[in-house]
Chains A and B, each alone.
Chain A
Amino acid sequence: MILPRKSFRLSRRRLLKGLAVGGVWGASSARAQEASQGDPAVLEPQPWSTSLGPGVEDGSYGLPAPQEAHVVRRTVPWLTADPAASVSFTPLHELDGIVTPNGLCFERHHSGIAEVEPEDHRLMLHGMVERPLIFTMRDLLRFPRESHVYFLECAANTGMEWRGAQLDGVQFTHGMLHCVEYVGVPLRRLLMEAGLREGASWLLVEGADGAGMSRSLPLIKALEDCLVAFKMNGEALRPEQGYPLRLVVPGWEGNLWIKWLRRIEVGDAPWGQREETSRYTELLPSGEARRQTFEMEVKSVVTNPSPQAPLRHGTGPLVVSGLAWSGAGRVTRVDVSLDGGRNWRPARFSGPDLPFALRRFYLDVDWDGSEWLIQSRAMDEAGRIQPTRQQLQAARGVNSIYHNNAIQTWRLAPDGALENVDVE
């Protein structure tokens, strides 16, 4: 944290004062009621208006305001055996718009964060190609580039909720999700450079980490829109997101987005890797399991209000806000229900409308203080409608683990608290 001590102390004191009366921003109005002359935040000269702030030399890489220190990735320690093969969650309830800040993008590693030296990083392309090749990072920076905003959703996002409401916060139920602008080279260009041999139909993509993370990827997807990316939101990939190189597979499950990408083998059949047999296959009630369920489904969730973001402002105008996305491309419509799915009204979109990206929706309503059961329901350009949990359970049982895109319900209580509930 690079901030002068004076400024931090003042902020901290103010923060504590605010909390004492029930909320940082609530403090001013509460005090205003006590003061007949007006709001002390207006009447009293404030330190930031009567002194010098930090200069430009104090923060060569800026950080969020200290008051935002609670806006962090969080973990669920009981989920996994070891933090190096685990997941952290994006604080969706603290964000707005569609772009996820790099430092808040959820993480999923299988052998921890590979700390790769870019000068020593290589990408190998071999197998059913005319000319097996090795690229350095410098080579890759000389190919024509593209930039796209894409969501990345873990196949297991919402996976803990298959049997019903379990975790009380949108960060935990839906936070294996992020959306950033990627810049990279179309994988197609690299494959052309090597020259595909006849019969080529599948790729093995593999990471440089200890897990040697590997998946089989249909060649047609690689030729269509996959990127080999080196930038996210304008800057180099974060180490936990694959620095210096990751695969980008628009609309498809996050496990395929191989980080620290170091090898691509071209072949004529899938490889049956651990991550496409033992994992990322979906057990059905029949005892059979679906495999190669690549595409992520149409999905949405209300991020605010939600259990981690309760209502503090009482009745009256209320912004209901959320995210929608689909592996089919564009989200065309989102409806919101306030009565547990009995009646719906169309939400309003704002912000970019991009294929394979998050889309932000709002519903501006007037809360009367009664109990609401808030849901959102997305539709996509393939004509698919986001299903209810009951519909998904009827079709797949409760042991699929992955690809849970069910409609989420938040109960808004008269006191402004929210909780994750199941309704029928």
Chain B
Amino acid sequence: MWSRAFSSEAGRDSRRENATRQRAGGFALALWLAAGGAWAEEAPLGLGRAATEAEIAAWDIDVRPDGQGLPEGRGTAEEGGLLYDGLCAACHGDFGEGAGRWAALAGGRGTLTHRDPLKTIGSYWPHLSTVFDYTRRAMPFHAPRSLTDDEAYAITAYILYLNDLVEEESFELSRENFTDFALPNAEGFIEDDRWSEPQYAPGLEPCMSDCLPGAAKIIGRARAVGVTPDGGGGFE
């Protein structure tokens, strides 16, 4: 319990070291420092009841990039293809290219620096775990949580196939080989560094007069684009 874990100064020091060692993005350490404050005075109230293992298993459906949370199961790309054609292709296209405004699942490799990038599982997503997790959690759109674990493995395998990341339709994906696969854009993400951008440089003072040369010039107009519903709404 919280009060016990954070009760003594000695425990605090050893926990701080542990937290530092764990390198959890600074959060564990910050948590520890914060715990020395007023929160220690808030005692548990004994509300709620213990969750049973069966209850946790029923709801605990998440899968992490390191494979934590993957269930037993397996499925081939070929099996996934049959499922995909029946359950997915109407929205996501026969080859994962998307239909209408529904998302494309495949293609777009090498387009991330283009003016109109195509962000798909193959071109953009960092983790295969997300494909399995999201498919099992929320797809098909009109029948979420309706796939078995084996079906989710099979569809994930087929999505790898659609993205040319496996070559054979006989390829089988399972809990055992799942974490062997790295998606192409696995290293494509950086941490939040927005505040280092020039416009947020420390100590900037807002300009109040003659801030830009000459008179302002209009270079774009929403009316020229013409996509506002009903011209904007009920005021004309």
Contact = CB atoms under 8 A, between A and B. Distances in A.
B42 A169 contact: no
B113 A272 contact: no
Contact of B190 (A223, A278, A289): A289
B171 interface: no
B86 interface: no
B235 A343 contact: no
Contact of B216 (A172, A288, A342, A383): A342
A403 B199 CA distance: 14
A75 interface: yes
Interface stretch (B25-33, B150-158, B159-167): B25-33
Q: Which of B50, B198, B229 has the most CB of A within 10 A?
A: B229
Contacts of A289: 112, 124, 188-190
A271 B68 CA distance: 9
Contacts of A420: 221-223
Interface string A336-367: 00011111110000000000000000000000
Interface in A208-235: 210-212, 214, 218-220, 223-224
Interface string B91-131: 10000000011100000000011010101010011110110
A260 interface: no
Interface in B196-236: 197-200, 202-204, 206-212, 215-223, 225, 227-229, 231-235
Given A199-B22, A290-B189, A135 B48 contact: yes
B232 A387 contact: no
A318 interface: no
A169 B233 contact: yes
A75 B229 contact: yes
A265 to B, nearest CB: 7
Interface string A131-161: 1111100010011000000000000000000
Contact of B228 (A169, A214, A394, A398): A169
A391 B191 CA distance: 21
A293 B1 CA distance: 32
A395 B51 CA distance: 48
Contacts of B217: 423-424
Contact of B235 (A265, A268, A310): A310
B64 A277 contact: no
A385 B199 contact: yes
A59 B137 CA distance: 42
Interface in A272-290: 272-274, 277-278, 281, 283, 285-290
Contact of A212 (B66, B121, B137, B233): B137
Contacts of B42: 188-189, 192
A304 B18 CA distance: 54
A198 B6 CA distance: 10
Interface string B54-73: 01100111111110100000
A394 B192 CA distance: 17
Given A81-B91, A81-B102, A377-B206, A172 B228 contact: yes
Nearest to B143: A210
B144 A165 contact: no
Contact of B222 (A168, A214, A283, A394): A168
Interface string A23-67: 000000000000000000000000000000000000000000000
Given A269-B64, A399-B117, A421-B221, A335 B206 contact: yes
A142 B47 contact: yes
Contacts of B192: 290-295
A387 B198 CA distance: 10
A201 B34 CA distance: 13
Contact of A383 (B190, B191, B203): B203
List the 6 shortest-distance A-B pairs measured between CB atoms, nearest first: A340-B216, A422-B220, A201-B24, A420-B222, A81-B101, A387-B199
29 contacts: A80-B101, A111-B138, A171-B233, A188-B39, A193-B45, A193-B46, A193-B47, A196-B5, A199-B24, A200-B31, A206-B62, A212-B138, A212-B144, A267-B64, A274-B133, A274-B134, A277-B126, A278-B119, A281-B189, A287-B188, A289-B188, A289-B190, A291-B190, A339-B216, A385-B204, A385-B206, A395-B199, A422-B221, A423-B218
Interface of B: 1-5, 15, 18-19, 22, 24-25, 27-28, 30-31, 34-35, 39, 42, 44-51, 55-56, 59-66, 68, 91, 100-102, 112-113, 115, 117, 119, 121, 124-127, 129-130, 133-134, 137-138, 141, 144-145, 188-195, 197-200, 202-204, 206-212, 215-223, 225, 227-229, 231-235
Interface of A: 70, 74-78, 80-82, 84-85, 110-111, 124-126, 130-135, 139, 142-143, 164-169, 171-172, 188-189, 191-196, 198-202, 204, 206, 210-212, 214, 218-220, 223-224, 262-263, 265, 267-274, 277-278, 281, 283, 285-295, 297, 307-310, 333, 335, 339-345, 373, 377, 379, 383-385, 387-388, 391-392, 394-396, 398-399, 403, 411, 419-424
